[in-house]
Amino acid sequence: MEFNHKNNAKVLFTKEKIGQYWNDLYKHVATCLDYHFILRLESSAKIITENFPKDAKILDLGCGAGVLSERLLAAGFSVDAADMSADMRELTTQRLAKFDANKYKIFHAECEKLEIADSTYDLVACIGVFGYIDDVDKALSEINRVLKPGGTFIMSIRNEDNRNIFDLANLFKFVFYKLPRKIFKTLTPTKAPHTSNPSGPGPGTATPLANKFFIDIFDRPKDVIKLINQFNFSAIEFYGLGYGPLQFNGKTLLPETMAKGMSRMLSSVVRVCRLEKFTKWVADISIYVFKKH
């Protein structure tokens, strides 16, 4: 089974496609309708600024339009910003031009083959990048290689289980189809498993023949953590942000402003009731913090 996410990303993240959209997305935070991506940016920046010294060597890998690098520079950090898209690097250059040029560096990089010396960085941040990578094995191995011993890897993707819960079609399918089947299987004798896998790998799984892994743009936290832990990392923290939007068969049922309000309300209830430990597993945005062995 072949994936062409990288080639698709090279086309998508250009000014002609969605590159300019991602650049403009964060300009007016108060009125931005893509509220969960604002949460992702703010939370990622907070995790780094509150847990790392100002002299930490940081790589913003897959920097996009440079919004995370901008936050880190504004907080007094130095940062290396890298992306495979020339258009996104140009947008990053424009965004970071207001800072001291000695505090940052912008360069071309592809996750699967980093032209960076071993043990260079204390922290590699890869926000919203996995899901556009075909060879996850190489990317994780390269990230591990350029990190110093004990270094930190922060990454973020969206959560498949958020869609399963907030899409009513998926909820109905679970209640009336998957759950009855699961109950039936528990009540019947177990058959010997098949050794073939004709449908190919799913998200967070290994290909039987090639031993290669895949992480989807939407993936389940338990699968992602289990996978990345196999690449000389240990998961030390996991955050879940935002809920919804309410959908039916992929179609959003509420206007964007109402969907954003619902997410904020649910987040407030979760925070007041101190349920983050449980609800993070079904939140829309997942942020993972891994430590290199």
Q: What is the reported pLDDT for 181? A: 81
pLDDT at 174: 77
Contact between 39 and 285 (Cβ < 8 Å): yes
Q: What is the pLDDT of residue 32?
A: 43
Q: How far is CA 244 from CA 3, 48, 100, 193, 250, in A?
A: 28, 26, 40, 36, 11
CA distance 12 to 250: 21
Q: Residue 213 pLDDT > 50, yes or no? A: yes
For the chain, the structural domain boundaries read 5-292
pLDDT of 282 higher than 50: yes
- Mode of pairing for the β-strands spanning 147-159 and 218-219: parallel
Q: Say if CB 41 and CB 64 are below 8 A apart.
A: no
User: How many Cα atoms sit within 13 Å of 70 on the Cβ side?
Assistant: 18
Give me the pLDDT at residue 26, please: 66
**Predicted confidence band of residue 27 (pLDDT cuts 50, 70, 90):** low
> pLDDT tens, 153-163?
999 999 999 98
pLDDT > 70 in the chain, percent: 80
The model carries a pTM of 0.82
Cα separation, 228 vs 223, in Å, equals 9
| Distance of alpha carbon 214 from alpha carbon 59, whole angstroms | 23
- The residue written with tokens 């955050």 in the block is 239
Q: Based on the number of CB atoms within 10 Å of its own CB, is 197 exposed (0-12), middle (13-18) or buried (19 or more)? A: middle
Q: Quickly state the pLDDT bin for 127 (edges 50, 70, 90).
A: very high
Q: Which CATH code for domain 5-292?
A: 3.40.50.150
The answer to whether 144 and 232 are in contact (CB under 8 A) is yes
Given this model, what pLDDT does residue 243 score?
92
* DSSP states along 79-90: EEEEES-HHHHH
Model pLDDT for residues 147-198, shown as the tens digit of each residue: 999 999 999 999 999 988 999 998 788 778 777 887 877 787 655 444 434 3
Query: Can you read off the two tokens belonging to residue 99?
Result: 């800072």
Listed residue (90, 143, 149, 88) closest to 113, CA to CA = 143
Give CA–CA dist 144/124, Å, rounded: 9
Gap between the Cα atoms of 12 and 211, Å rounded: 28
